Amino acid sequence: MAIVDLSLTSDELAESISASVATVVNRLSIQPKEHVYVIGNAADFDEFCVPVIELLKAKTAACLWPRTSRSRAFPNMNDVIFVQEYIEPVPNGACVVMVQSVLLLWEEAIAMVTRVLQNVRPNRIVIGACLGSRKVENRVKDYLQNRYDVKVQVISEEYLPDDESGLEFEHRAFDLLDDRPKKVFPNMPEWVLSKMLGQDFDPSPETGPDPSGPTSGSGGANIPPKPPVDDRKLRQSSLHSINREQIEKEDEDRDQDGPDVDADDKYRPPTPGRW
């Protein structure tokens, strides 16, 4: 059975991708003493990239949110833009490992690696995927070797037939993997969110919130639960607020009309002045 099978459900595809991580990592031939830096795609970061980070014990990584589409200016090419990014500093001489479950666009792979590295020169570059393309592998390898003058290795467990559209297949695979009911905003990998919050990522399943709130044993402050709201005080506060608003409005109306004048005074002739 293929690793990336579009007939699977979202959960089944995620499990299939995660199950292939060990095989892909073994083929990357990472040396124990190498300083590994991992680059991943937000579309499959938690399912594919995070297990790689844990297996390789990488301390730094980058997550990119690429958007790919058919180029209008160049019919035989694809456009790549990044709608969001999380990039940790890349140390010089690092072994840069880019992993993506479905990697079928050479423009995307090159854009992601060069976006992260900029002018940093790594020791070598390794790219691994569950499903790839031989044409993509050759083009990515040639470009990165010429630009950074380092050894580049690109491997895939499976290959897409040449007659299929890599752009359409990749879009369908990542859409299937994203099981959110509404996809208005870009997805946020849990690993990246934990990093942004300054917390350690915990891959264990969620057990639900603790009704008693965070405690000192869980790493947070011992915060007592909020007391129940008194409905009588709430109503009194609301009435007080309403009365205050009415008084303020009456004062504003009075200021606009001018100072208070007695009705009889409006028609009383003015008092003659003294000479």
| Domain assignments of the chain as residue spans, ordered by start | 10-196
pLDDT score recorded for residue 46 = 92
Percent of the chain with pLDDT over 90: 45
CATH architecture of 10-196: 3-Layer(aba) Sandwich (3.40)
Task: Give the pLDDT confidence score for residue 272 in this predicted structure.
Answer: 45
> What is residue 128's DSSP assignment?
E
Residue 228 has pLDDT above 90, yes or no: no
Closest of 169, 175, 166 to residue 77, by C-alpha: 166
Q: 22-31, 62-71, 198-207: which range is least confident on average? A: 198-207
Is the model's pLDDT at 231 over the cut of 80?
no
The answer to whether 126 touches 30, Cβ cutoff 8 Å, is yes
Closest CA to 62 of 23, 93, 98: 98
Query: If you average pLDDT over residues 160-166, what whole number do you get?
Result: 83
Per-residue confidence (pLDDT) for residue 246, from 0 to 100: 56
pLDDT for 7 equals 84
Q: Is the pLDDT of residue 115 over 80?
A: yes
User: What angle is formed at CA 37 by the lines to CA 110 and CA 46, rounded to 5 degrees?
Assistant: 85
pLDDT given for residue 57 in this prediction = 92
Residue 273 has pLDDT above 50, yes or no: no
Check whether 247 has a pLDDT greater than 70.
Answer: no
- Residue range 26-52: average pLDDT? 93
User: H-helix or E-strand containing 117?
Assistant: helix 106-117
Going by pLDDT thresholds of 50, 70 and 90, the confidence category of residue 265 is very low
Amino acid at 151: K
